Structure 1
Amino acid sequence: MTFDHFKINLLQPNESAAFFNLIDNNRSRLEDFFAGTVSKTLTLDDTINYCVEIQQRIQNKSYLPYIITDTITNTFVGIVDVKNIDLNVPKAELGYFIDSNYSRKGITSKAVELVLDDIIETYQFKKILCRIGSKNTSSIHVALKNGFELEGTIRKDYRTTKGEIVDLNYYGRVF
């Protein structure tokens, strides 16, 4: 998948260093809501091991991490990940983030649109869910722009790595 000067593809086994750099450059922004990824990528060696685990999860169709790459700089700039996949329904949860240097440029919204098109066609999902911190206006904007609707707010639903318990908005889109 491509648009402008960006490409989107599943994380490849040989991309551990680039993945580590993306997470490490955005660690402070990601630690609360991408806590699992952040904790498994503390060092390059940790990231290499985590990427091996990810490849198995891709094979099992239990996790699909789509990487956004700037083709001019050949740098990873974001991710749209598909997780909590339930092929019996079929449904999944979508998460996403963009490097701070690329935020507020519409890149995440376009990447989410393209990934949604791909996973709906490939996996025939009937529902996609996004769980977003109620104060994360940028992520909420991306969800709404991509046709998600607020299904509700679950109060005190998530503990951040700083220990704060926050409300999460649940956004859904049915196909």
Structure 2
Amino acid sequence: MMTFDHFRINLLQPNEGEAFFNLIDSNRVRLEDFFAGTVSKTLTLEDAMNYCVEIEQRIKGKSYLPYMITNSTTNAFVGLVDVKNIDWNVPKAELGSFIDTTYEGQGISSKATRLVVDHIVGKYQFIKLLCSANSRNRGSMAVILKNGFELEGTIRNDYRTTKGEIVDLNYYGRVF
């Protein structure tokens, strides 16, 4: 477990489906474009519970590592830093993150991302981490830059949002 201020960070547990659903559901509108897969797999509480079973298998197989940010006072999930697109051959991975709207602008995502990066580099020996963000997503870009990632380039027409819009993504990397 990682901690800072009054928050803790742990891998998502199979019995936390309801808390996971509540976090996604209360932020659904703002997440639908850039967390399209997660949003589409958590449309109902039952969907979220089933998705958590799938995630449990992915964690065991080390193909996906979702680190939940929890308010230690309320025990509510307030955000996520996930490790995805893992390539053990290099080894490298991509990070994604979001924070509940109630907690935006408080530096929580930046601190949580820093702890997760330190943890996964130490535990899994990643030598490269990537992040991607649309240039309109100023909050994500701030978190990425605060954590020492550097712009590697912009890939044009790289991602389809939930609404069907094709957008460019800026890719940021950090080598360890």
Task: Give the Cα separation in 2 of the matches to 1:163 and 1:17.
Answer: 29
Shift of 1:135: 1.1
Question: Which residue of 2 is the match for residue 73 of structure 1?
Answer: 74
Question: Which residue of 2 is the match for residue 4 of structure 1?
Answer: 5
Given residue 34 of structure 1, which amino acid in structure 2 is its aligned partner? F
Task: Give the Cα separation in 1 of the matches to 2:132 and 2:6.
Answer: 29
Q: Gapped runs of 5+ residues in structure 2? A: none
Question: Which residue of 2 is the match for residue 116 of structure 1?
Answer: 117
Q: Which moved more, 1:134-143 or 1:19-28?
A: 134-143
Question: Which residue of 2 is the match for residue 135 of structure 1?
Answer: 136
Give deviations 1:20-51, integer Å, cap 9, x for gaps: 00000000000000000000000010001000
Question: Which residue of 1 is the match for residue 150 of structure 2?
Answer: 149
Q: Gapped runs of 5+ residues in structure 1? A: none
Tell me how many residue pairs correspond in the alignment. Answer: 175
- Write the mapping of 1:52-131 to structure 2, written as runs, cut at 5 A: 52-131=53-132
TM-score normalised by L of structure 2: 0.99
Instruction: Let me know the Cα RMSD of the aligned residues.
Output: 0.5
Counterpart secondary structure, 1:139? helix
- Runs (4+) of structure 1 moved beyond 4 Å? none
Task: Give the Cα separation in 2 of the matches to 1:96 and 1:71.
Answer: 19
Task: Give the Cα separation in 2 of the matches to 1:121 and 1:2.
Answer: 16
Give deviations 1:141-163, integer Å, cap 9, x for gaps: 10000000000011111110111
Question: Which residue of 2 is the match for residue 15 of structure 1?
Answer: 16
